Chains A and B, each alone.
Chain A
């Protein structure tokens, strides 16, 4: 397997890596570190990839497994910086933007397994494929996703009420 071959298969799906990095790492250095680690792990895993599943499924598995077992540094950083870092991507101050920011922060504060599920859901991946990526049953995925969404909706309403 050459690097050109590897890049041909993975480059069209590189958005997957950014999604995982943005959800699992909060600070610039951590993001860069995780991004590099995921690319490296993909490159190292590629020779064993037999194309029995979709390239995107394989990339999600490697990226999520790497993210879940890689990031451990954030807890020691300054909390003030954490807030600034989570807001810096939002340019407009409209109500919708504010809600999206709130929602994004909520996703960030979810449990690790919940983050993985909601990320895959946002990407529009089918329950069957989510089950394949996470190793859970399809039914379990559905139930857990509903639970996470209900929790987020409730939190969003509560936050909106507090702001009013």
Chain B
């Protein structure tokens, strides 16, 4: 019993050693205001980053279509412009998917935090995963769709080759997106999975 009490007092003693000096009301108020400003600027910088990613993607699409134009040796300008418009539309679709992902993840980060930890972590994980899945499919479909339209419009490939190319590029786009999502959100998702597992550990 004595050993137990000693352990308990050690535990409380350890915690007490790390007490901090309390802050004044003014200091806390200033801290909140400063943090609000910082959060706003961080949000703006993330938004700029998203826009930049979208612009880079559109840039890549443009380079792709220019390259394709020479590869397929498209003789008519009208045909090229048609393809150019389709690529622009696909680029816009991709931008929309990226922005949807960004806005949705932002909304998720504002989830009500005043709830049981287990519920909070589970809801956060489920909503984030769902958003990433939606993004994955929209961007894969958009990119594959763009390529399909382009290949059909070029009218130079036999049907079985066309189907093969679509299937192959679709798979490539899918795994490219999976890699991108894993690179960007993989660690966060793993941490959330770990937390859920810890909070759902059975009481043996």
Binding site for B on A (CB under 8 A): 3, 7, 10-11, 14-15, 18-19, 22, 35-37, 39-41, 43-45, 48-49, 58, 61-62, 64-66, 68-69, 72, 89-90, 96-97, 99-101, 103-104, 107, 111-114, 116, 118-119, 122-123, 132-136, 139-140, 143-144, 147, 149, 152-153, 156
Contact = CB atoms under 8 A, between A and B. Distances in A.
A37 B35 contact: yes
Nearest to A123: B15
B25 A149 contact: no
B10 A100 contact: yes
Interface residues of B, number: 46
Contact of A36 (B35, B114, B201): B35
Interface string B166-204: 000000000000000000000110011011001101011
Interface stretch (B26-34, B53-61, B84-92, B94-102): B26-34
A158 to B, nearest CB: 14
B113 interface: yes
A113 B32 contact: no
Contacts, number: 137
Nearest to A19: B15
Nearest to B12: A122
